[in-house]
Amino acid sequence: MQLSQAQGSKAQQLFSAREELEKAVGIAKELRQRERYNRIDGYDPYPYQKAFHETGATCNQRLLMAANRIGKSYCGSMEMSYHLTGLYPKWWRGRRFKQPIVGWAGGVSNETTRDIVQFELLGSPDDPEAFGSGTVPKNYIIKTERKPGVPNAKSVALIQHVSGGNSSLFFKA
């Protein structure tokens, strides 16, 4: 059975449209992956968060006290990610570390440290596919060690710094 010239042209148009659609879907998936595993690039702080970051240039100790569920942990984990990796944004006016650091991140208990702090920095501890979806970019996480006796909790994470060395992040309770 032969297709007429009009039918062949129509089939070619459909094939071309399908190829374009598949390409667009592939691009959308790639963008979603980049957003999920590289959250550090998309951080746009609120004015109070930006002011908190800026005080780091002159103050050794700071407190961010605000209402519940308003972004305190996220703000702190973003700043920790900047220091661990050395990937500071153009707008950054706070303190900068030009070499790897040793950082501590903690909570009241091992469980809250895992469920809040580790979640924000490394991604959901209960979902292996979410590892690297926190504020530390996935491709900068070199390795982690689990915390004995606490399911899915980490005791330390080794993070690549842009200077070429590695930062260490210890999770404490």
Domain membership of residue 3 (yes or no) is: no
What's the pLDDT at 3?
58
Q: Residue 157 forms beta bridges with which residues?
A: 144, 169
**Amino acid code (one letter) for 54:** E
Q: Is residue 29 part of a domain?
A: no
Residue 50 lies inside a defined structural domain of this protein: yes
What is the per-residue pLDDT across 26-63, written as a single tens digit (0 to 9) for each? 888 888 888 889 999 999 999 999 999 999 999 999 99
Query: Minimal CA–CA distance to 141: which of 149, 153, 151, 133?
Result: 133
Q: Say what the pLDDT of residue 18 is.
A: 79
Low-confidence ranges of the chain (pLDDT < 50): none
- Other beta carbons within 10 angstroms of residue 106's beta carbon come to 13
What domain range includes position 131? Answer: 38-172
Answer whether residue 18 is part of any domain. no
Helices (H), the chain: 5-37, 47-55, 72-85, 110-112, 119-122
In a domain, 74, yes or no: yes
Count up the domains in the chain and report the number.
1
User: What is the per-residue pLDDT for 25?
Assistant: 86
Domain assignment present for 5: no
For residue 4, the model assigns a pLDDT of: 67
Residue 7 falls inside a structural domain = no
Residue 21: inside a domain = no
